[in-house]
Each structure stands twice: as C-alpha cells, then as structure tokens.
Amino acid sequence: MTRSVRWAVVALGIAFWQGAAVAADIVSYAIVQDDATLRVRGKTIRLYGVYVADTRPFCDRTFAPSRCKTRAAVALESKIQGFVRCAPQVQYQDRSIGAYCSVDGGSTTAPAIDLGGYLIREGWAVALPEAPFAYHTYQEIAKVNRRGVWGFQADSIR
C-alpha cells in the first residue's frame, strides 16, 4: 500500500469511528444545566429539534435554597428522576451532541417520556425546522392553549 492510500484508509476509519460514536445511545444520570442542556456521562447534550425560547432566569422557591434557572431547565429537573436515554443525531462544532432524550414513564406500563416533546408541549421550548412533525404539532397545541411562553407570564408583573 502506498503512503497516500494508507492515510486515506486511516482517515476513513477515523470518520467511521466518530460517526459510530455519535450513533450509540448514551444512558446515565443527567445534570440539567442552567440553559436546559444536559450533562450526561461527561458530554453536553442539546435536545435535538428544540430551542429554549425564554432564557430569563426563573427562581423555583419550592426547595431551599431556591433554584434559579430557565423555566425549561426547572421543568426538566422536575421530570428527570433517574436515568435518561439519549439517541444522538448530530455532533455540533462546539462538541456538544444533539440528541433525542427520554426518561422512563414512571411505571412498567407507561411509555418513555420524550424530553424535547415534553418541553414543547408545556410551552417552554419551540420546535426548530428540523424537528419531527410531532414537535410542530405540540407547539401549535401549546400556542392554542396559551401554555408557557405562549401564555400569560404572571411573575413578570411588578
């Protein structure tokens, strides 16, 4: 094998390996970041097809000390009680991963809860153009029902 052919084979192998690394599910506990991204197994995960619309901090005073994060982050923290399963779709230039993430439904018969769909249904995020059709449908329902960012923000009145 010539040197250039050998380098081409090595480059293809590395490209294949990186693609395979993104494709494997990531399953572990998750730490919800202030911006509603997740830290799972040392990786930053962005919910694929989801944009967190309202980035103003919201202080949840249910617990002491109070937690001040975006509403989407507070909602995710309340929904994630154990492990998450993330199916990577893309790796971004900042090395974060865009993934569909879900949590168990709470019982053996309940279906898994898609976290991106949950945020959009509750009105704490909007669907990006590349999002699945269901996300766009959830968004329209949230608008009609005036949920989250589509509704009245009582805590913004002074």
Q: What is the mean pLDDT of residues 136-145?
A: 97
Q: What is the mean pLDDT of residues 67-80?
A: 86
Of the candidates 23, 22, 72, 48, which has an alpha carbon nearest to the alpha carbon of residue 131? 48
d(CA 87, CA 142): 25
pLDDT value, residue 152: 63
Q: What percent of the chain has pLDDT over 70?
A: 77
| 3-class SS of residue 95 | coil
d(CA 51, CA 31): 18
| pTM for the model | 0.76
